[in-house]
Amino acid sequence: MTCRAAWALLLLLPLLCTPAHAGDDPFVFDDSPLQEPLEHPPWFKQSFLDLNDDLAEARATGKRGIILYYGQSRCPYCQKLMEVNFTQEDIASYTREHFDIIPIDIWGIAEVTDLSGNTLIERELAEREQTRFTPSLVFYDLHAREALRLRGYHPPYTFRAALEYVADGHHEREPFKTYLERAEGSMAFLPGELNEEPLFDPPPHALDRSRLSGERPLAVFFERGECHACDILHTGPLQEASIQQLLSQFENVQLDMHAEQPVITPGGERTTARRWAEQLGIFYSPSILFFDEQGREILRVDSVIQFYRLRNILDYIVGKGYLSEPNYQRWRAR
């Protein structure tokens, strides 16, 4: 099989395969807080949290870098990473061969010495790195450069691609989005239609808020056709009455992240949906970006999302919690 064909199969797997049981589905699960604390795999590195030492050890043992895993003990999305991704032998063995994973508790108080030699505690590092959604994984190459950042839980096919993207040095040559799209160009089927919802405003999409403030916050849904994760979002969380009620307080726009559809951004730039997605670094669909009435981005969700997390985010924005507490995790923990 050619590399190009292998990549096409890789991205097609979530569309063609049905999980053996519901717990294996990376998109459908109860995302309320776990009843019992979660433990990470025993092969995660038992680090003294001096990251330069960790990187030196990774280099000495022939690895390609380190991954900082930001998590919390009752996070159902972290559980999916452990119980879906890391139970797949190819993912687990590839990760262990090429990386050391160093766990960081986003509420922890253990001291960390970062790659610049600064000392701070775990929760301060998590806040500085804006790990708004757990799990967050930050990949560093052997030159101590950030190679990739995954915010939130990503399904096995995206996670597997992320590992290879960094391990093979592609991060030095191209964005992750470009790396993924090289496979999409080889797929035989034509792009499908987006999921329509009455909550989405019709085009033209003139979203400029730089001259005149909007009356409501703005939610921009970047999606694409033939997207299993998009289908799950539309048939699941977006059908919940509480989610619909909260979204009714937003201006909601749906864009095809691969389309040349004209759009005026919240900052007043004339562009297309595709070019705007590239500028924003969007590689996962669906991604939802939230902007305030003046067109400033509040936060984004560019990973798997279910009901509980989406409802909390919408509450945070509708209630303007970000004005008094810019750190979403601290706001949620109140």
Same fold, 3-184 and 205-332: yes
What confidence score (pLDDT) does residue 191 get?
57
Q: Please, are residues 79 and 32 in contact by the beta-carbon 8 Å criterion?
A: no
pTM: 0.90
Residue 241 is which amino acid? A
Alpha carbon distance 115, 107 (integer Å): 20
Give the pLDDT confidence score for residue 24 in this predicted structure.
64
pLDDT for the residue 318: 97
The confidence score (pLDDT) of residue 334 equals 83
**Is the separation of the CB atoms in 110 and 102 below 8 Å?**
no
Domain residue ranges of the chain, discontinuous segments joined by +: 3-184, 205-332
Residues (pLDDT < 50) of the chain are 1-22, 186-190
Query: CA separation (Å) from 195 to 212, 233, 245?
Result: 30, 10, 19
Give domain 205-332's CATH number out of 3.40.30.10, 3.40.50.720, 3.30.465.10, 3.30.450.270. Answer: 3.40.30.10
The pLDDT score that the predictor gives to residue 183 is 62
> What was the pLDDT predicted at 247?
98
- Helix locations, the chain, DSSP H: 3-16, 51-60, 76-80, 89-98, 122-128, 156-167, 176-184, 228-235, 241-247, 273-280, 307-318, 321-324, 328-332
CATH superfamily of 3-184: Glutaredoxin (3.40.30.10)
How many CB atoms neighbour CB 169 within 10 A? 12
